[in-house]
Chains A and B, each alone.
Chain A
Amino acid sequence: AIQLTQSPSSLSASVGDRVSITCRTGHAISTALAWYQQKPGKAPKPLIYDASRLESGVPSRFSGSGSGTDFTLTISSLQPEDFATYYCQHFNSYPLTFGGGTKVEIK
């Protein structure tokens, strides 16, 4: 199984900050990666697919980059509604694994 390692596991940031989250895979997966946002008590919501494509309706302050084994989710200017946990997931082959998550908290 392809292991996904997210870093950091948590971070504290202020409104307006630029935030980056990294997802590293143990095997090259081209751009077969998605990012999700999950708020407490809610189901995950897709943000990015194919490593860099923005899901419809997602604000443009979210962006994704990377290919192969190293990927990044960036929030260009953190907004109050962005405080949540973020997960990466690969779609290279089964089993479809998720990263461990990154919790973004208010500083």
Chain B
Amino acid sequence: EVQLVESGGGLVKPGGSLRLSCAASGFSFRNYTMNWVRQAPGKGLEWLSSITSSSTYIYYADAVRGRFTISRDNAKNSLFLQMSSLRAEDTALYYCVRETLTTSWYFDLWGRGTLVTVSS
């Protein structure tokens, strides 16, 4: 089955760190650009970061640049998001998202998300 499964979420204190993981299966993970998108409770979607198939190019939203680091391990079909200096406003459901492989550019596969709560 083609799927993305996130893990690593939980409760963390402000200023703390957390590492999210995303396990990909059912497709050739190494060929795809991958992304993290988050959604705060009751709010809209926010793109956070992208990493190309060989990790050559990495992009971040201003809100997380310098605090979050995206990475991947193609041998293990895994995507990661290392989050540090966490703030209350980082509380959200974090989605692992695949970008389409065709010349058309959009997000064609989403995980179910992992919840991160930043609170003292």
Contact = CB atoms under 8 A, between A and B. Distances in A.
B110 interface: yes
B47 A34 contact: no
B50 A32 contact: no
Max chain B C-beta neighbours (<10 A), residue from A43, A45, A49, A97? A43
B43 to A, nearest CB: 8
Contacts of A13: none
B45 A98 contact: yes
Given A1-B62, A95-B62, A46 B106 contact: yes
B45 to A, nearest CB: 4
Contacts, number: 56
Interface residues of A, number: 24
A50 B47 CA distance: 18
A1 B48 CA distance: 13
Nearest to B100: A49
B47 A49 contact: no
Interface residues of B, number: 21
Interface string B79-109: 0000000000000000100001000111110
A87 B105 contact: no
Contacts of B59: 94-95
Given A32-B105, A34-B105, 16 more contacts: A34-B106, A38-B45, A43-B95, A43-B110, A43-B112, A46-B106, A46-B107, A49-B100, A49-B104, A55-B108, A87-B45, A94-B59, A95-B60, A96-B47, A96-B50, A98-B45
- The 3 A-B residue pairs whose C-beta atoms are closest, nearest first, are A34-B106, A43-B110, A49-B106
